Structure 1
Amino acid sequence: MTDEAHKSKYSVHPGADKMYYDLRDMYWWPGMKKDIVIYINRCLTCLKVKAEHQRPSSLLQQPEILEWKWERIKIDFVTKLPRTSSGHDAIWVIMDWLTKSAYFLAMREDYKMDKLARLYLNEIIARHGPELVQETIEKISQIKDRLKVACDRQKSYADKRRKPLEFSVGEYVLLKVSPWKGVVHFEKKGKLAPRFVRPFEITKRIGPVAYRLRLPEELNGVHDTFYVSNLKKCLADPTLHIPLDEIQVDAKLNFVEEPVEILEREFKKT
């Protein structure tokens, strides 16, 4: 009865209130409204397609406040470049977390660790440290305390409009794909495409607000770690899911749309 009231072509997945009002005129049982809410919360089609009218997930995370420039760095390697006349075919990118300043060092892709260490000493350490600044320790401490107060104040404002959200390893989640800004369109195509896809299994927690998912083989080119706000707990019951053919995804993360049924034809003679 609930399947017919929720999934038939005449009902098209109504919300809990509408489904309750439609059924109560003809049926009633103890705990009817609660059962309807639980049923709809487990409908995989509704979880994928319907918009969320809730506060954003995950609380604001405070970045670590560093005390001095070049205390912590980020590095990246740009490889497979055309070889220059000096024999270099790669770039070593070194960026300071605090000032966001960066160096781009020419190198060869076959450099070993000892060669990279000497390059770092000559180009970075020789210019920026180690620093001995006893006279600035007190000022740095004051600046750090003031930044901490400002961050705490901003976090208290932001957390009032957000909700905490955590998952456990082994749980299944839906991945948010609409709207995604940028160049990656993760199985997303057209206005009627679902807001969430699959579910995926969580394999590992990466830090306080990121999780690693088990992605299928056809998505091996997609990075498997996602921010918690892009995930949604999957409460769906597999028996409530309308079976559909597996979506075939190409290398550009697009899928081919094929008609399921031809409902009407029209021929024109010229």
Structure 2
Amino acid sequence: MVHDYVAALTLVETDFFGRVQEVAEQDITYLKLLDQVKAGEIRKYWIEDGILYAKGGRSFIPSGALRNDLLKDTHDSQWAGHTVVNRMMDLLSRKFYWPNMDQDVEKYVKTCLVCHLDKSELTKEAGLLQPLSIPERPWKSISMDFILGFPNVGGMASILIVVDMFSKYADLIVAPKVFTAEHVAELFLKDVIKYLGYSVHWTIVDSVFQPDGVQTEVFHGQSSSN
């Protein structure tokens, strides 16, 4: 059964329409549209409870934080599984509308770090390494990557990314500017194992990326079983 995820987003928000009205106060274009619809100058939108609606009964989302939250929830959530552009657009456009939504969706997917990491694994040249089997359940197989080059804040200047290869769910962990294998093991135990327990099979893939997403070094470790 395919879950209607976007329809459920309004249930997750304790006051979704309140958020729409709050964000709308900062969107001059949205406020102008409200006035034009009230005056009968524009007929392709209508107003219910102070909120604009577009064709199909879709909520017109003002520019700002709420659009970003919807993009993030529709793409990054644990069960959404980092949807591709067409699927993400289909999900969002069922319940929501805003101008140039397709461009925003495409840009969001293109700049998604997890998707870039996953794509790099699929497109790298074949070697002598053993192929990784497709995991049959969440958190049986993971990848670990680092983003380097952030400003040093309290000794922290990098991010350890742990991705579940089944669901594509990512856990981002703040890490020191300089770290050793022992540091990585400590972070992994503290932020992943502590909550998930030990898995039967862990697959480690170590890649180093700059903040702009350019891959600078890749090391692919052979899988092992406990």
Q: Which has the bigger relative contact order, CA under 8 A and spacing at least 6?
A: 1
Q: Structures share a fold, TM > 0.5?
A: no
Structure (1/2) with the larger helix percentage: 2
TM-score by length of 2: 0.29
Q: Which structure would you say has the larger Rg?
A: 1
TM-score by length of 1: 0.24
